[in-house]
Amino acid sequence: MDMKKFSITIAGGGSTFTPGIVLMLLDNLDKLPINEIKFYDNDEERQAVIAGATDIILKEKAPEITFTATTDPETAFSNIDFVMAHIRTGKYAMREKDEKIPLKHGVVGQETCGPGGIAYGMRSIGDVLELIDFKDQYSPDAWFLNYSNPAAIVAEATRMLRPDSNILNICDMPIGIEELMASAIGLSSRKEMEVKYYGLNHFGWWTDIRDKEGNDLLPQIREHVSKYGYVTVDESIQHADASWNSTFAKAKDVQALDPATVPNTYLKYYFYPDHEVAKSDPNYTRANEVMDGREKFVFGECQKIIDNGTSEGTELHIDEHASYIVDLARAIAFNTKERMLLIVENNGAISNFDPTAMVEVPCLVGSQGPEPLVQGEIPRFQKGLMEQQVAVEKLVVEAWHEKSYQKLWQALTLSKIVPSAQVAKDLLDDLIEANKEYWPELT
């Protein structure tokens, strides 16, 4: 019997991650058959380069797949099974401001943590909700797989403001880290491991890691992290530049706060903000690295494919997070009950934590969506950190929804990265000025 073929819309067709996702989809047609791929973006010019190359790749590798690139919502979202959404409102130009404005105030400048993440979240919420509404209008039964950042704030917005839509919120960072763990102890893939993990997005801890036979791998991984962080011989393809190597190395110091677990790398921004600010160049941040590296590389490769009329010899490659999104779509499409880390409403998964918090925990994923696995009670240290952080995320969504200056000031003040209410206010005023085109007008 032939398997059903699926129709997929990639929202953010002009993203540098889109070619990697297309390549991964093509690599997995035996597991997730596809009859149509659509790109949707509100930047027609940017999307045209990625789409031009994709058109050639598809004609060469899978000519049976129908391909459309559009800026029209009805065309993009009609008769589809999945939306894979990875948008960046304001593009890298605004990411650069998210990183540089906080640094000007002596505060960590990072795109998903602290003031930068809050600024980005305030831009992202409206656009992600708009995409969900397009999907609900034209293909209400389709699933919206969201990995637009900052995932924690966006996930809270979807919980609060679109509770009845088919939405799954995911992040690739734990996947990248698990690949490094596997490499560190000589496994060929993270899929040889089964993990217990809890936290918020970019804010979590692994508490148990076993192989498929049930052998405990955590002591070996903990020992590696305590010496080297997540630095391994096999470097990450997606995260291979200097700033990422520094992040992977810093995990050693993050783990020292709770040596019984291994941590998500992003915790370094909350535990060692002074260190992060001291080593940052306020004139050349991660956004500049990406614009000069990944951005130029992907668009250059796509243009080369267009100019040559063939993808032969291209250096475009599959990204780590692309494999995850295919597994997720398969789990929903074929009810595989695969175990995956997702961002879901807590609802008792962490028994001593806010039931309405959007937490990141292992889930069994099937055609009805995710079934979170209970992680039990968590220790006071993690609970205290997470309560502070989840309050920030909820205040940001409330501030966006209510157009409240007061609540956004409270969110920034409550962020562990921001040293005082005055710095929070000064930062907020600068961020409002920089985001006039994107944020609701706050009163």
The neighbouring-strand residues paired with 200 are 203
* Residues with Cβ within 8 Å of residue 61, at least 6 apart in sequence: 26, 311
C-beta separation of 192 from 283 below 8 A: no
The neighbouring-strand residues paired with 7 are 36
Q: Which position among 41, 98, 127, 172 bears the catalytic label?
A: 172
Instruction: Note the helical H segments in 140-262.
Output: 151-161, 173-184, 218-228, 242-255
C-beta separation of 100 from 115 below 8 A: no
Angle at which helix 151-161 crosses helix 380-402, to 10 degrees, equals 60
Angle at which helix 421-434 crosses helix 114-138, to 10 degrees, equals 50
The neighbouring-strand residues paired with 371 are 364
Instruction: Note the helical H segments in 185-294.
Output: 218-228, 242-255, 268-271, 273-279, 286-290
Task: Give catalytic status of residue 266 as yes or no.
Answer: yes
Task: Give catalytic status of residue 133 as yes or no.
Answer: no
Q: Which position among 230, 266, 269, 324 bears the catalytic label?
A: 266
Angle at which helix 18-27 crosses helix 44-61, to 10 degrees, equals 20
For the chain, give me the number of helices (H) and strands (E)? Answer: 17, 12
Residues designated catalytic: 172, 266
